[in-house]
Structure 1
Amino acid sequence: MTPAAEVQSNGIAVSTSLDVLIVGAGFGGLYQLHYLRKMGYKCKVVDNASELGGIWYWNCYPGARVDSDIPLYEYSIEDLYKDWTWSERFPAWPELRRYFQYVDKKLDLSKDCIMSTGVKSADFDTKSCRWNVNLTTGDVYDCKYFVLCTGFAAKHYVPDFKGLAKYKGIMHHTAKYPQEGIELEGKKVAVIGTGASGVQTIQEIGPQVGHLTVLQRTPNLCLPMNQHKLDPLIEARVKKEGGYEKVFKDRQTTFGGFHFDFLEKNGDDDTDEQKRQLYEELWSGGGFRFWLATYKDLLFDKKVNDTAYNFWAEKTRARINDPKTRDILAPLLDKQPHTFGTKRPSLEQRYYEVYNQDNVDVIALKENPIETFTEKGIKMKNGEEHEFDVILLATGFDSVTGGLVQIDIKGIDGVSLAVKWSKGTWTYLGMTTANFPNMYFLYGPQGPTAFANGPTIVELQGDWIIDAIDYCEKNKKKTMDASAQSEAGWTKHVAELCDITLFPGTDSWYMGANVPGKPRESLSYAGGVPRYVRETKEVAEKGYAGFNFDGSL
């Protein structure tokens, strides 16, 4: 680790100089560090967590695991994957942590990572053409390039529940679940929210708690994970025969960066019998196949989408015993909570069976909202009061933009990123924003973020950013900054791609609609990975068209 900034006798910190300061020690930040360091650049990573892993440091709630099949959820670096074998198809958080420890050991990353430290503020100095970055420790770094790898879920969200501070029991957001865990056996527990972390927590703790009450606002249209153990001998053979290499190469050719893709036909091309046969195959395949390996017009044509919803409801309702619970968790089409696939479906293993237990019940919040929290629990609008030993808030995130705007970052005009994006997000290529020179971000707004496999995107965007930095250095450019015109064009392009889909018809974090006051807009690029790769490569091949460069050094 580079020594902390020296402090002069007058108490003012003297900054430490770097080529690149990277924020975030998850998949994206560590990828940047590894390759930029190999190219000779002086880099550091800074992260609030005490260990490497990004979201997989914070995700330690019961049942937390990935929703991308192996081998897609790992680095495509051969020196890493050839000697690492996962134990199961969708690894859980402890195994993800072991993986990052393995990556650290192989690539020797920790020596350039500043942990348990956040970024308090950053501003661009127009005279020196460098970023001044203030850390929460009081240390100051100045760098030519500022790369934000904060991820899409770096800022958790808690609704403004009345009386929240009154509650005297144990309460945590799933994103801040205690590292040492919570003793839940025999306890009265509430889980508020049925997004991904809610689903995973509920199915994990349901069998062990004394009583579990789930407070659900919107049903999650969960898909079967179809989890299974992996055979190390089979995995070794697949690697030897080039299977992993092929998967990593082919992911650039699929819409979501997975090893499966939409079909080259529409729903109306098939008879009802053929549709059912396809849906059965996708359902048994598990993972996101039922969502992203189906008819190419499923997310454009409501009529076709309804056939998928009906199939989902039939399959799901058959697993729920109580008729009232069945209607709350898996309504029929006439009570459909939202169009299938326009909110991210969570993958589950035994989620619906948990509700058949005598110790589990569910409250539909749209019919019976929370009135107030009390010292001992929660009072509902209908007057019922529930006492809980533990309340878990699975209430989601200020997704995609929240992790970026929570840092006080000011560009060349002194305007903060939070102010610039307060009425709408503006980017060029989903990796830069005008008036913030030499600043890049990945797995963030207006990239394929929400609609694609994470490691796929952080490597594709990561390579583009690394090449852009190298281009600036080799051509002796002081600054690289998106033009206002190119930014406006890209933002319009992202909106148009989304508007022709079914996504705008649903309030979701995809549209920024889960956080009151947040602009309602498409936060992700809906054109698919191949088109995104093509469009961003074309910009680079044309000498980074759409960017302004400030002179030579």
Structure 2
Amino acid sequence: MGSIAPDSGRRDAIVIGAGFSGIYELHKLKEAGFDVHLYEAGSGTGGIWHWNCYPGARVDTPVPTYQLTSAESWTGWNWSQRFPDYSELRTYFQHLVKVWDLGDLITFNTRVQSMHWDDQSHKWRLSMRNTNTGQESEASARSVVLCTGFGSKPYIPDFKGLDKFKGELYHTGMWPQTGVNMEGKRVAVIGTGASGVQLIQEAAKEAKHLTVYQRTPNTALPMRNDLYDKTMNDTWKKTFQHTKDMILKTFAGFDYEFSPESALKVSPEVKAEFYKNLLSSGGLHFWLGTYSDVLFNDDANNEAYEVWRQSVLPRIKDPRNREILAPKVPPHPFGTKRISLEKGYFEAFNQDNVDLVSLVNNPITEVTDTSIKTADGTVAEVDMICAATGFDSVTGGITSIDIRGVDPKQTIKERWDKGTYTLYGMTVSGFPNMYMMYGPQAPTAFATGPSSAECQGDWITACLIYQRDNNITKIEATKEAEQEWRDHTLEMGEKGLFTKAKSWYYGDNIPGKPREALNYMAGLPTYRNKIWESANNNYKGFELSPCA
């Protein structure tokens, strides 16, 4: 362990994380004249697109929706495909850093280990560690903006014997930057969520043999990934002002919205044509552009599921695999677990080198030094295990840092041990001058990353400007306002069918984690109205005070 480098001096603000939220907030604070610096644990920008570099990794939100909207960020940029892969998104982030001249304000390979609040001086003291050298350092700032993302703490279930496995073991969220060679190897992929679907499609092409372990079927939708030439780029740029207007109006920040009609009140012929068009559009239209009651009414939901099921059954040859991948009885209401996009996913299971194991009644019982065993006694010899087993989502990236506020004896992890409490998903009572982006009780997983970054980033920047202009050195959410926001968030989470599914939306994938709505599910427009209502009323719900 290296010696501790001296404090580089107090800054106005420190940003943690170089994804969409972090880069946008760094830009906005720099633009507003703040002394600000960003620390990133990885070796480059991109956030999830730095860490998720497994084969097939790409975004499931189409461009130009999946980008920031400031004119200088897109007028000189062209996309090569409708759903960019991780490498193109990394290049896009490099473009943002260059356009906004942020390079000197970012320190890479530096993981923030702790944040402790000093209530006398009204500032945060941070300790950090260089991930390459082990060198420790310190910094301090009036305000800290946590942009750790909702998927930054990988989770692997505690499989018996996993520590004894002698082959290669990877998690999709911590994939080696140098890549992985699967050719000629017996590969196991555990998990069929978003990263699992993408990895399976590629692993099936490379591996000598692939065994897929599925707990829950993924009701994946067709991607339809068109290539973008000069004409396509010129076209979206001409209409991007309209796209920006739509992003501000829609529930999740897309350029399309749910249909106001009820699935139960239109004719079968109209409904069939409507669903056919949604599926042929590619992307998430069948999920987020569907009838208004599909995510609220069981009958409407069951109809939508059956339409999806009939669309994929002809693509699966083996009757056994059909029932595992697209069961007759829905495993949960359609759309209440994260839906993925696919391009040849279901056909992969028709290959001779691919086996599918359902873990529903046949769980993994043990991992040996060379194999995976399941409850039915089957032993699969494997050279490589790829865990597509998700994350301690939404809160995990924050609670993995030793954060202590006004009460130095209590970490934020301990504060949230029985349930998450925030105000607007951006602040926490007892933790002054600390802001969160793309975190708990905010739209987060129910909004696109760029639209969420702009929504929250503009509010946080305005808040810091207000403090500066009014000589405010400490701002803290009140417990009463925080309780109201928690109650409101939980109430919104109960309105649809989402509670009927066990998912990371509710923390169900992490043993011992409280079951609660981790996201604000009332949509971006409603969220935007609420946060600015507070700001426009002198930050109602907060206590503001000058330096002690």
- TM-score, normalised on structure 1? 0.96
1:309 is the counterpart of 2:286: no
Distance between the aligned counterparts of 2:539 and 2:295, measured in 1?
32
Q: Cα deviations across residues 396-443 of structure 1 (Å, max 9, x unaligned)?
A: 000000000000000101221100001100010111110111110011
Q: CA deviation at 1:105?
A: 2.0
User: Which residue identity lines up with residue 216 of structure 2 in the other structure?
Assistant: T
User: Which residue identity lines up with residue 350 of structure 1 in the other structure?
Assistant: G
Q: CA deviation at 1:249?
A: 2.4
Q: Cα deviations across residues 142-196 of structure 1 (Å, max 9, x unaligned)?
A: 1000100011001010101000011101111111111111111121111000001
Alignment match, 1:516? 511
Q: CA deviation at 1:542?
A: 0.9
Distance between the aligned counterparts of 1:264 and 1:509, measured in 2?
28
Alignment match, 1:16? 9
User: Which residue identity lines up with residue 32 of structure 2 in the other structure?
Assistant: M
Distance between the aligned counterparts of 1:112 and 1:125, measured in 2?
24
1:544 is the counterpart of 2:536: no
Distance between the aligned counterparts of 1:233 and 1:260, measured in 2?
22
Alignment match, 2:338? 344
Match of 2:316 among 316, 320, 323: 320
C-alpha contact (below 8 Å) 2:18/2:45 kept by paired residues: yes
1:26 is the counterpart of 2:48: no
User: Which residue identity lines up with residue 532 of structure 1 in the other structure?
Assistant: Y
Aligned residue for 1:398, secondary structure, equals coil
1:104 is the counterpart of 2:97: yes
Alignment match, 1:480? 475
1:260 is the counterpart of 2:256: yes
Distance between the aligned counterparts of 1:435 and 1:275, measured in 2?
51
Distance between the aligned counterparts of 2:465 and 2:160, measured in 1?
52
Q: CA deviation at 1:296?
A: 1.0
Q: CA deviation at 1:15?
A: 5.0
1:358 is the counterpart of 2:352: yes
Alignment match, 2:423? 428
1:62 is the counterpart of 2:58: no
Alignment of 1:383-402 (within 5 A): 383-402=377-396
Structure 1 stretches lacking a partner, 5+ long:
none
C-alpha contact (below 8 Å) 1:257/1:453 kept by paired residues: yes
Match of 1:281 among 274, 277, 287: 277
Alignment match, 2:488? 493
1:177 is the counterpart of 2:171: no
Alignment match, 1:114? 107
Aligned residue for 2:467, secondary structure, equals helix
Q: Cα deviations across residues 19-43 of structure 1 (Å, max 9, x unaligned)?
A: 0010001111111111111111111
Alignment match, 2:194? 196
User: Which residue identity lines up with residue 266 of structure 2 in the other structure?
Assistant: D
User: Which residue identity lines up with residue 319 of structure 1 in the other structure?
Assistant: R
Aligned residue for 2:473, secondary structure, equals strand
Closer, same or farther in 2 for the Cα pair 1:552/1:127, shift >3 Å?
closer
User: Which residue identity lines up with residue 512 of structure 1 in the other structure?
Assistant: G
Distance between the aligned counterparts of 1:146 and 1:249, measured in 2?
31
C-alpha contact (below 8 Å) 2:39/2:107 kept by paired residues: yes
User: Which residue identity lines up with residue 187 of structure 2 in the other structure?
Assistant: V
Q: Cα deviations across residues 334-355 of structure 1 (Å, max 9, x unaligned)?
A: x321110100100001100100
Distance between the aligned counterparts of 1:151 and 1:345, measured in 2?
19
Aligned residue for 2:211, secondary structure, equals strand
Distance between the aligned counterparts of 2:547 and 2:119, measured in 1?
15
Alignment match, 1:235? 233
Alignment match, 1:452? 447
Aligned length, in residue pairs? 541
Distance between the aligned counterparts of 1:373 and 1:26, measured in 2?
35
Alignment match, 1:404? 398
Distance between the aligned counterparts of 2:446 and 2:115, measured in 1?
30
Alignment match, 2:123? 130
Match of 1:216 among 214, 217, 220: 214
Distance between the aligned counterparts of 2:231 and 2:225, measured in 1?
18
Q: CA deviation at 1:16?
A: 2.0
User: Which residue identity lines up with residue 423 of structure 1 in the other structure?
Assistant: K
Aligned residue for 1:268, secondary structure, equals coil
User: Which residue identity lines up with residue 498 of structure 1 in the other structure?
Assistant: G
Distance between the aligned counterparts of 1:200 and 1:32, measured in 2?
30
C-alpha contact (below 8 Å) 2:246/2:256 kept by paired residues: no
1:330 is the counterpart of 2:326: yes
Distance between the aligned counterparts of 1:169 and 1:552, measured in 2?
56
Distance between the aligned counterparts of 2:320 and 2:232, measured in 1?
45
User: Which residue identity lines up with residue 270 of structure 1 in the other structure?
Assistant: V
Aligned residue for 1:198, secondary structure, equals helix
User: Which residue identity lines up with residue 396 of structure 1 in the other structure?
Assistant: G
Distance between the aligned counterparts of 1:249 and 1:46, measured in 2?
32
Alignment match, 2:29? 36
Q: Cα deviations across residues 459-487 of structure 1 (Å, max 9, x unaligned)?
A: 11110111111111111111110000000
Q: CA deviation at 1:101?
A: 1.7
Distance between the aligned counterparts of 2:483 and 2:443, measured in 1?
18
Q: CA deviation at 1:293?
A: 0.7
User: Which residue identity lines up with residue 172 of structure 2 in the other structure?
Assistant: T
1:531 is the counterpart of 2:532: no
Alignment match, 2:132? none
- Percent identity, please: 45
Aligned residue for 1:202, secondary structure, equals helix
- Flag as ranges the 4+ runs of structure 1 deviating above 6 A: none
RMSD of aligned alpha carbons: 1.4
User: Which residue identity lines up with residue 411 of structure 2 in the other structure?
Assistant: S
Distance between the aligned counterparts of 1:311 and 1:373, measured in 2?
38
C-alpha contact (below 8 Å) 2:424/2:442 kept by paired residues: yes
Aligned residue for 1:171, secondary structure, equals strand
Distance between the aligned counterparts of 2:272 and 2:437, measured in 1?
39
- TM-score, normalised on structure 2? 0.97
User: Which residue identity lines up with residue 182 of structure 1 in the other structure?
Assistant: V
Alignment of 1:237-252 (within 5 A): 237-239=235-237, 241=238, 243-252=239-248
User: Which residue identity lines up with residue 263 of structure 1 in the other structure?
Assistant: S
Q: CA deviation at 1:390?
A: 1.1
Aligned residue for 1:234, secondary structure, equals helix
Q: CA deviation at 1:551?
A: 3.2
C-alpha contact (below 8 Å) 1:399/1:509 kept by paired residues: yes
Distance between the aligned counterparts of 1:15 and 1:93, measured in 2?
33
Distance between the aligned counterparts of 1:16 and 1:386, measured in 2?
56
Match of 1:375 among 369, 374, 385: 369
C-alpha contact (below 8 Å) 2:489/2:520 kept by paired residues: yes
Q: CA deviation at 1:237?
A: 3.9
Q: CA deviation at 1:139?
A: 1.2
Q: CA deviation at 1:370?
A: 0.8
C-alpha contact (below 8 Å) 2:41/2:110 kept by paired residues: yes
Aligned residue for 2:316, secondary structure, equals coil
C-alpha contact (below 8 Å) 1:475/1:552 kept by paired residues: no
Q: CA deviation at 1:12?
A: 8.3
User: Which residue identity lines up with residue 309 of structure 1 in the other structure?
Assistant: Y
User: Which residue identity lines up with residue 268 of structure 1 in the other structure?
Assistant: L
C-alpha contact (below 8 Å) 1:171/1:390 kept by paired residues: yes
C-alpha contact (below 8 Å) 2:5/2:138 kept by paired residues: no
Moved more, 347-356 or 178-187: 178-187
C-alpha contact (below 8 Å) 1:252/1:533 kept by paired residues: no
